[in-house]
């Protein structure tokens, strides 16, 4: 699907009367599993992408790295990819360049957050985190809107006001400013252990933008509560990654402890399952068809003009 079609699909999800489910992913494989499971959209997670490189989520990777992974995922699935773009990889010029690149690589929309560059993951303790000024961040939203080619491309504005302890009023003030600046949706992030402050935000927010939440630290929030509070999208930002780590650890520990992989086998997916995820059967069928077509040319039967040959191979 083109970036424009993907963007339209993401917009439709944000405008739908049921909350959309976005799944955090860091590779085409994880994105494909999310799609197969029934998620509506992929969250190209900065935390997951940096974690699989075994480095902190602190803008240590370049934009090109995040872009390549997001684009690889967009190639592998038919659902839209919303890219976590941290604080925009720099200033307004970086944001403008970023949108040109992401949109041209099939990404449906970007999410930028109002922390200063370089950002640090919202859950990292041990360093005080600071907001960019509302003016500076509104300028970045303007840069997104100016750079996008398709009217449907989505800009999610994420406020970290609650994360840095600036309070609900500041979050609401920023939500209003970001909406005026042209954002298409608001992400209200929180690291509270319960959903109260996020739900209070949804009650007090009187704007018209769809609201997006990331219930990592408040997992008790149920899907039905989202709808009741008018929340448009929920992002399960890191659960795929965390389950991979748990599963890999358990598997590797068992191999060392048991001295054999025999007892593990029933718990693992088969190599055939892995091949299916990779599309091995499709590839082999395609190559057999091409080889058969090639052989027919050598045998000299029914030589075809070039356009006919293309049609014949496409139809195989």
Report the residue number, 79 or 213, with the smaller CB distance to ligand SPV.
Answer: 213
Min. distance of Cβ 25 from Mg ion in angstroms? 13
Residues that bind ligand SPV (CB under 6 A): 24, 45-47, 57, 84, 121-122, 214, 216, 237-238
The catalytic residues are 57
List 8, 84, 103, 179, residue binding Mg ion (CB under 5 A): 84
Q: Pick one of ligand SPV, Mg ion, none as the site partner of residue 51 (Cβ within 5 to 8 A by kind).
A: none
Min. distance of Cβ 163 from ligand SPV in angstroms? 8
Report the residue number, 35 or 84, with the smaller CB distance to ligand SPV.
Answer: 84
Size of the site for Mg ion (CB under 5 A): 2
Within 45-64, the residues that bind Mg ion by CB under 5 A are 46
Min. distance of Cβ 216 from ligand SPV in angstroms? 5
Is residue 156 within 8 Å of residue 111, measured between CB atoms? yes
Report the residue number, 41 or 237, with the smaller CB distance to ligand SPV.
Answer: 237
Is residue 59 within 8 Å of residue 89, measured between CB atoms? yes
Min. distance of Cβ 122 from Mg ion in angstroms? 7
Residue number of the CB atom closest to Mg ion: 46
Site string for Mg ion, 5-34 (x = CB under 5 A): ------------------------------
Report the residue number, 6 or 216, with the smaller CB distance to ligand SPV.
Answer: 216
Q: Which two tokens stand for residue 65?
A: 């790295």
Residues at the interface with Mg ion (CB under 5 A): 46, 84
């Amino acid at each position: 699907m083109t970036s424009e079609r993907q963007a339209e699909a993401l917009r439709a999800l944000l405008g739908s009367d049921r909350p959309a489910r976005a799944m955090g992913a860091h590779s085409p494989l994880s994105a494909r599993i999310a799609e197969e499971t029934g998620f509506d959209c992929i969250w190209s997670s900065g935390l997951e992408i940096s974690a699989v490189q075994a480095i902190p989520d602190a803008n240590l990777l370049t934009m090109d790295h995040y872009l390549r992974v997001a684009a690889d995922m967009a190639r592998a699935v038919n659902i839209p990819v919303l890219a976590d773009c941290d604080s925009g990889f720099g200033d307004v010029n970086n944001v403008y360049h970023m949108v040109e690149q992401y949109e041209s690589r099939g990404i449906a929309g970007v999410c930028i957050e109002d922390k200063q560059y370089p950002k640090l993951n919202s859950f990292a303790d041990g360093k005080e985190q600071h907001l960019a000024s509302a003016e500076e961040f509104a300028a970045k939203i303007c840069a997104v809107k100016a750079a996008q080619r398709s009217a449907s491309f989505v800009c999610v504005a994420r406020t970290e006001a609650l994360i840095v302890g600036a309070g609900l009023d500041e979050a609401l003030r920023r939500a209003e400013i970001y909406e005026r600046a042209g954002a298409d949706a608001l992400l209200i992030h929180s690291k509270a252990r319960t959903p109260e402050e996020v739900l209070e935000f949804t009650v007090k927010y009187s704007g018209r933008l769809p609201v997006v939440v990331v219930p990592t630290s408040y997992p008790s929030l149920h899907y039905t509560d989202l709808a009741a509070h008018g929340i448009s999208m929920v992002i399960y930002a890191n659960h795929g990654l965390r389950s991979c780590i748990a599963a890999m650890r358990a598997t590797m520990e068992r191999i060392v402890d048991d001295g054999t992989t025999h007892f593990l086998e029933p718990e693992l997916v088969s190599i055939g399952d892995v091949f299916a995820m990779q599309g091995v059967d499709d590839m082999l069928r395609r190559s057999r068809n091409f080889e058969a077509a090639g052989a027919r040319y050598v045998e000299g039967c029914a030589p075809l003009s070039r356009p006919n040959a293309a049609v014949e191979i496409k139809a195989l």
